Structure 1
Amino acid sequence: MLSIIGFITILVVVGLLLSGRLTPMIPLVLIPIVGALAAGFGFEQIGDFFNEGVGNVISVVVMFIFAILYFGLMQDAGLFDPLINKMVVWSKGNVITVSVASVLIAAVAHLDGSGASTFLITIPPLLPLYQRLRMNPYLLLLLVGGSASVMNMLPWAGPLGRTASVLKTDVTQLWHPLIPIQIIGLVLMLILAIFLGFREKKRIEQKYGVIDAQAVVAEVLEKTKDETSEKNQLARPKMLWFNVILTIAVIGVLVWGIIPAGFAFMIGFCIALPLNYPQIKDQTARIRAHAPNALTMASIILAAGSFLGILSGSGMLNAIAESTVQIMPGFVGPYLHLVLGVLGLPFDLLLSTDAYYFALLPVADQIGSGFGIDSLSMAYSMIVGNIVGTFISPFSPALWMALGLANLEMGKHIRYNIFWLWGISLILIVISVLIGVIHI
């Protein structure tokens, strides 16, 4: 009976998450409470489950709040602008180098872990360049989205925070084994950019002839400069090198692991804010500008802590796992993590990020443990298999914004992307097995 209630609880939560009618916090908080009451638990017991669940994710919440505030502040101060402009100049309008620059610019822009800000930073300056060079705009979204997806393995980007809250582990420790995979993923995206750049250059020359690339770059840069005059009021060019050094130091501390990630971002933010914006009214304005994003992510993680605490504390997850193990064919069980990893990217077309990590992962982890699959292997397989397709998912609000900015269609975007990104996803899974990140 407990497993049936657990299944129904998870299915209702997933259904409400997919419906898009409610913010994720609402079903994650309310539906498990109803399920626990139906299973015979009282409010006092449910309160204990809640305390335990929230206690497991509070460090992740702190990290998200201050990571979003920190990188939002760095964007306001113009940390990434000179590098992006230099990459556009470096491309010289060559189709292949423009493709490579698209990957590199997206990787830098996604350091804040926000898909929306990444697209806002990359598409406005790059889209006119693509249009004037007669390059396919769907290639722009493929390269930017794929690069940002690989960068989405950063601890503060979302998927790892969700995974850490499910596994009750430290998010930076979870990230460390993924650093080589992240680097290899970016290399694969650069190789893909070169290959598709050659193909695109051939298509353009056959259809339009040779284009004056240098004149195109100069025109696009001048237009972009005029359009960003309002943003430049917040820029702090004199603080550029200080902000660069501080950001490298914060990320270095994260990799080193000497202090918790949230504490590192808290310190970095408290140093950067008064030095970049000495006036208290400006400091308050910067906090208010980025607090909505920070609190939205924090509230979802806290709600997920409640959800997982109730499902775990009530025994629903164990009951679901035991029931599933009894009916699953024995030959599939030991390789369940690989099966889910291979199907991870197609799951992006069926499940939202919250449903994938908060509903599917905990159930898969419990089932896999019955076949001797350790939790980290299950998590890494599902992360690596899924994450490259982050921005082909119709459940990604940031992607819809990107399509709007570029005036493109979702269906064509998915068809253009899925073959290449699924291929990279499968290669990364194989590499993860070979270097021991995922165990068989």
Structure 2
Amino acid sequence: MLSIIGLLTILVIVALLISNKITPIVALVLVPIVGAFVAGFNFEEIGGFFNSGIESVMSVVIMFIFAILFFGIMQDVGLFDPLINKMIAISKGNIIAVAVGTVLIAAVAQLDGSGASTFLITIPALLPLYKRLKMNPYLLLLLIGTSASVMNMLPWAGPLGRTAAVLGMDVTELWRPLIKVQLIALVLLMGLAAILAVREKRLIAKRGLLNEEIYKEAQAPVEGAQDEASLKAASLRRPKLLWANALLAVAVIGVLVWGIVPAGFAFMIGVSLALPLNYPKMKDQMERIKDHAPNALLMAAIILAAGSFLGILNGTLMLDSIATDLVTILPAAIIPYLHIIIGFFGVPFDLLLSTDAYYFALFPIVEQVVTGFGVSSLSVAYAMIIGNIIGTFVSPFSPALWLALGLAGLEMGRHIRYSLPIMWGFSIVLVVISIFIGVI
């Protein structure tokens, strides 16, 4: 009975998340409470489960808030502008160089962990270049989305924070083994970009001017967005403080990788130094915080709600019960490899489940089942992260992707048809490589 209640609780949460009719916070808080009451637990016991769950995610919440603020400020002051402009200047006029440069530019832009800001930076800058060279704008979206997805394995991005919350571990510890996967993935992606660019050159030669209308349709929304964004951003830039901000960013990331202090504390110090360094007036400092606070607080609220959800499901022993019962149902030969199977199908799962549903509903069940057969929780986490994360920006559940489509004047259906097979294949290759190098 406990397994049935637990499964129904998770299914209802998944259905609500897929429906997009309520926020993840509402689903993650209310549904588990109802499930716990049905299972026979009282309010006092549920409160204890809540406290336990919140304690397990608090360090992740602090890290998220200050990491988003820190990298938001670094974007505001223009820390990454010279590098992006240099890449654009180097790649201009050569289709292969443009494609490879797109990967690198998107990787740099995604350092703040925000897909929305990545698309706002890269699409207005690169789409005119793609149009001039008659390159397919869907190739631009594919390369930016895949590169940003690789960088989304950073500890202050969403997937690792969610996974760390489920496992109750430090997100920086979870990230360190993924650094080599990210580096390998970026090298492979640059190679893939070159191959796709060669194919694109052939297609351009074949279609001639037939694709001209696509670019005319894409032109209108981009010009307005680019002008508006440029005017708003100009007053926030601090080019004279470029090296000071670069040293600060390197120091914060270095401390983070070194692990001598908690990640949240490192970013808290970084924000406290970055604000007065770039904006001496208190009013300007508060404006920067207010501008980035919505993203920071939204992610923090979701993680806290997830802590409540996981605390209740763990405290009521629903997850243990589901795992125990699944072991008796699934063929014994499959269970030890269930995380790898899920990893192989991670990208299609992104079309069916939101990020919250994947990491807060599916991952805990798989982790509970597979660890019973001697597989480590980290191995399960890495298989499901690496297998799924590449599909982040091909999913209709991604708000940032809708923003990208609007900026480029493109269609979701055509983007999925163009990008899904390539992204899925790339994801499977990464999972296989991760198995060979011992991450999974």
* From 407, 410, 415, the counterpart of 2:412: 410
2:79–2:246 CA contact under 8 A, matched in 1:
yes
User: Gapped runs of 5+ residues in structure 1?
Assistant: 210-219
Matches within 5 A, 1:279-290: 279-290=281-292
Distance (Å, rounded) in 1 between the aligned partners of 2:293 and 2:409: 29
Distance (Å, rounded) in 2 between the aligned partners of 1:230 and 1:113: 21
DSSP-derived class of the 1:238 partner = helix
Match of residue 182 from structure 1: 182
Distance (Å, rounded) in 1 between the aligned partners of 2:362 and 2:284: 43
Distance (Å, rounded) in 2 between the aligned partners of 1:20 and 1:266: 33
Distance (Å, rounded) in 1 between the aligned partners of 2:80 and 2:438: 34
Q: Tell me the TM-score normalized by structure 2.
A: 0.95
Match of residue 393 from structure 2: 391
Distance (Å, rounded) in 2 between the aligned partners of 1:150 and 1:227: 26
1:388–1:425 CA contact under 8 A, matched in 2:
yes
* Higher alpha-carbon deviation: 125-134 or 272-281: 125-134
Matches within 5 A, 1:167-316: 167-208=167-208, 228-316=230-318
Match of residue 49 from structure 1: 49
Distance (Å, rounded) in 1 between the aligned partners of 2:118 and 2:146: 12
Match of residue 215 from structure 1: none
> What is the one-letter code of the residue matched to 1:202?
R
Match of residue 117 from structure 2: 117
Match of residue 214 from structure 1: none
Distance (Å, rounded) in 2 between the aligned partners of 1:173 and 1:133: 43
Distance (Å, rounded) in 1 between the aligned partners of 2:357 and 2:161: 14
User: Gapped runs of 5+ residues in structure 2?
Assistant: 210-221
**Residue 258 of structure 1, CA deviation:** 0.9
DSSP-derived class of the 1:93 partner = coil
Match of residue 94 from structure 1: 94
Match of residue 319 from structure 1: 321
1:68–1:290 CA contact under 8 A, matched in 2:
yes
**Residue 230 of structure 1, CA deviation:** 3.1
Task: Count residues with an aligned counterpart.
Answer: 427
Post-superposition Cα deviations, 1:260-301, rounded to whole Å, max 9, x if no partner, equal 111110001100100100001000100000001000000000
1:243–1:272 CA contact under 8 A, matched in 2:
yes
Post-superposition Cα deviations, 1:128-157, rounded to whole Å, max 9, x if no partner, equal 111111110000000000000000000001
When residues 143 and 324 of structure 1 are mapped into structure 2, their CA distance, relative to the original with a 3 A threshold, is same
Distance (Å, rounded) in 1 between the aligned partners of 2:228 and 2:3: 60
* From 363, 366, 369, the counterpart of 1:364: 366
Match of residue 29 from structure 2: 29
Distance (Å, rounded) in 2 between the aligned partners of 1:198 and 1:111: 28
Post-superposition Cα deviations, 1:71-92, rounded to whole Å, max 9, x if no partner, equal 1111111111121111111112
> What is the one-letter code of the residue matched to 2:148?
A
Distance (Å, rounded) in 1 between the aligned partners of 2:182 and 2:377: 20
**Residue 201 of structure 1, CA deviation:** 1.9
2:92–2:129 CA contact under 8 A, matched in 1:
no
Match of residue 438 from structure 2: 436
1:134–1:204 CA contact under 8 A, matched in 2:
yes
Q: Tell me the TM-score normalized by structure 1.
A: 0.95
Distance (Å, rounded) in 1 between the aligned partners of 2:57 and 2:229: 41
**Residue 172 of structure 1, CA deviation:** 0.3
1:25–1:303 CA contact under 8 A, matched in 2:
yes
DSSP-derived class of the 1:16 partner = helix
When residues 400 and 225 of structure 1 are mapped into structure 2, their CA distance, relative to the original with a 3 A threshold, is closer
1:337–1:373 CA contact under 8 A, matched in 2:
no
Post-superposition Cα deviations, 1:224-275, rounded to whole Å, max 9, x if no partner, equal 6896133111100011111111111111111111111111100011001001
Post-superposition Cα deviations, 1:173-207, rounded to whole Å, max 9, x if no partner, equal 00001110010111111011111111112322344
Match of residue 219 from structure 2: none
> What is the one-letter code of the residue matched to 1:46?
I
Match of residue 423 from structure 2: 421
Post-superposition Cα deviations, 1:345-403, rounded to whole Å, max 9, x if no partner, equal 11011100000000000011111122222211111100011111110011111101111
Distance (Å, rounded) in 1 between the aligned partners of 2:3 and 2:171: 29
Distance (Å, rounded) in 2 between the aligned partners of 1:226 and 1:367: 51
> What is the one-letter code of the residue matched to 1:192?
L
1:49–1:310 CA contact under 8 A, matched in 2:
yes
Distance (Å, rounded) in 2 between the aligned partners of 1:29 and 1:176: 31
Distance (Å, rounded) in 2 between the aligned partners of 1:146 and 1:175: 19
Post-superposition Cα deviations, 1:304-336, rounded to whole Å, max 9, x if no partner, equal 000000000011000111111111111111111
> What is the one-letter code of the residue matched to 1:288?
K
**Runs of 4+ with >6 A deviation:** 223-227
Post-superposition Cα deviations, 1:194-222, rounded to whole Å, max 9, x if no partner, equal 1111111232234449xxxxxxxxxx99x
Match of residue 12 from structure 1: 12
Q: Percent identity?
A: 67
Distance (Å, rounded) in 1 between the aligned partners of 2:431 and 2:92: 35
DSSP-derived class of the 1:230 partner = helix
State the Cα RMSD in Å: 1.5
1:150–1:387 CA contact under 8 A, matched in 2:
yes
Distance (Å, rounded) in 1 between the aligned partners of 2:74 and 2:110: 12
DSSP-derived class of the 1:228 partner = helix
Distance (Å, rounded) in 2 between the aligned partners of 1:331 and 1:155: 34
* Higher alpha-carbon deviation: 9-18 or 362-371: 362-371
